[in-house]
């Protein structure tokens, strides 16, 4: 059954508002943390959402990235960040960490990647970054499971101001 012909799925936000609010609170606490720059956080959220195939989160975080001043060309390059010259060593380390934690290998996370992260991030930043990846992966999984439509809540949360209709 294709997405277009599939029956509509339940709204997990309405069915479990207490749990959804806890997940939202986690996301807001991470976003409010001064330990990770807003632009870097959006890159992480976009990359995890691409990997997980979460249209709702990808749509939301591309718009949020635009609103915090991210350049459009960099947004286009996130999927090919390894080949792109547009990302700093710190951003590259964060994107590699995002991929490693989103698609955990049977062998876990390599010591080499961890060492690369420690060169770019303080302990507090790395801890916050890790929670950022955890949070976006949780949101991706819920939105993919229930096929939340992209852009459904744009007006409610101000994403219509991004000019990406």
What are 6-21's pLDDT values in tens digits?
567 888 888 888 998 9
Instruction: Enter the tokens of residue 13.
Output: 């936000």
> What is the fold, at CATH topology level, of the domain defined by 17-150?
AhpD-like (1.20.1290)
How far is residue 57's CA from residue 47's CA, in Å, rounded to a whole number?
10
CB 61 within 8 A of CB 46: yes
Q: What percent of the chain has pLDDT over 90?
A: 70
Question: How far is the C-alpha of 118 from the C-alpha of 22, rounded, in Å?
Answer: 30
- Domain regions of the chain by residue span: 17-150
Exposure class string for 89-114: b at 16+ Cβ within 10 A, else e:
eebbbbbbbbbbbbeeeeeeeeeebe
pLDDT in tens, 100-156: 999 999 999 999 999 999 999 999 999 999 999 999 999 999 999 999 889 877 777
- Which structure tokens are listed for 26? 């986690």
Ranges of beta strands (E only) in 78-165 are none
- Report percent pLDDT > 70 for the chain: 96
Longest distance between any two alpha carbons in the chain, whole Å: 49
């Amino acid at each position: 059954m294709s997405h277009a012909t599939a029956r509509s799925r339940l709204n997990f936000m309405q069915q479990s508002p207490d749990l959804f609010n806890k997940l939202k609170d986690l996301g807001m606490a991470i976003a409010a943390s001064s330990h990770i720059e807003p632009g870097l956080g959006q890159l992480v959220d976009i990359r995890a959402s691409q990997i997980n195939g979460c249209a709702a989160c990808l749509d939301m975080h591309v718009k949020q990235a635009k609103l915090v001043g991210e350049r459009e060309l960099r947004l286009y390059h996130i999927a090919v960040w390894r080949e792109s010259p547009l990302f700093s060593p710190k951003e590259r380390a964060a994107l590699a960490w995002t991929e490693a934690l989103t698609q955990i290998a049977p062998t876990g996370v390599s010591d080499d990647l961890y060492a690369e992260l420690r060169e770019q991030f303080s302990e507090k930043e790395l801890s916050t970054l890790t929670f950022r990846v955890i949070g976006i992966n949780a949101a991706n999984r819920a939105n993919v499971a229930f096929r939340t439509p992209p852009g459904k809540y744009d007006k409610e949360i101000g994403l219509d101001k991004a000019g990406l209709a």
